[in-house]
Amino acid sequence: MDVYELGEGPAEVAVVGAIHGDEPCGVRAVERLVAEEPDVERAVKLIVANEEALADGSRYLEADLNRSFPGDPDAGTHEERLAYRLRSELVGCTTLAIHSTQSYAEPFAVVDSMDEVARAVAPHLPVDAVIQTDAFTEGRLIEHPHTIEIEAGLQGSEAAADNAYWVTRAFLAATGALPAPGSDDVIDAGGREDVPVFRLRDRIPKPAAEEYEVFAHNFERVEAGDRFATADGEPLRAEEPFYPVLLSAYGYRDQFGYVAERVGALE
């Protein structure tokens, strides 16, 4: 784990990249900020988490780090020990954890619950949606208080790296650590109106097959009876209306993604 510190005193804000070693966009954002040496108004930590998996080009070495929190310093796997160290670094920090996905090209935010930090910060991030995942957060970093995850775009793409940087800048502006781009004062990032909020309700199972296709689009309502995917050419149809989230043909081994409901919007 590599930790860069900006500003004076104990850090109050943190940004974490490379929780998964096959998602380099967060590292690119951290390295870009470190190279800029910005003057910060609040102390900030910029963290490259799973350096070993990153160097290996793999998602993780022994266990999924984002299913290993709160961790254990005496655990038998690298990631469980690392989870403990990382969580210790984040005590007292409002945190942004950067990820990427195989299912959606534009940034969206993921939170455990819509607490006061999520409500204050999320509307000022350049994201298409906010996803509440409280039923599916076991072992993930977003169980840590005042933590927001960002899915920055398609895994391994230049666009995801660029998105990760600008979302990070917006996050640091919204938390008062940096001026917003183009401003001389520490202000928020210029909030967006009506950012939709979805809550995950269930997983979408994937039957055993050789080939899969998906036809629905993430965050767009699927009506009852609509074909949303196929498995070896056999159509799979919605039993009731839902909004798909993290829907992709091959992003998960045993599920297509998640069933979600739209629960409102942030203004």
Give the pair of three-digit tokens for residue 56: 């290996």
Q: Count the Cβ atoms, other than its own, within 10 Å of residue 163.
A: 25
- Which letter, b or e, does each residue of 73-98 get, where b requires 16 or more Cβ atoms within 10 Å of its Cβ? eebebbbbbbbbebbebbeebbbbbb
pLDDT of residue 195: 87
In this structure, which topology does domain 201-266 adopt according to CATH?
OB fold (Dihydrolipoamide Acetyltransferase, E2P) (2.40.50)
Domain 2-175 has CATH 3.40.630.10: yes
pLDDT of residue 186: 46
Cα distance between residue 163 and residue 25, in whole Å: 8
Cα distance between residue 222 and residue 204, in whole Å: 13
pLDDT of residue 27: 97
The structure's pTM equals: 0.92
pLDDT of residue 187: 41
Domain ranges for the chain: 2-175, 201-266
Cα distance between residue 68 and residue 147, in whole Å: 16
Q: Please, are residues 7 and 82 in contact by the beta-carbon 8 Å criterion?
A: no
Spell out the per-residue pLDDT of the chain, length 267, in tens: 999 999 999 999 999 999 999 999 999 999 999 999 999 999 999 999 999 999 999 999 999 999 999 999 999 999 999 999 999 999 999 999 999 999 999 999 999 998 888 889 998 999 999 999 988 988 999 998 899 999 999 999 999 999 999 999 999 999 999 987 665 544 444 445 688 999 999 999 999 999 999 999 999 999 999 999 999 999 999 999 999 999 999 988 899 999 999 999 987
pLDDT of residue 193: 60
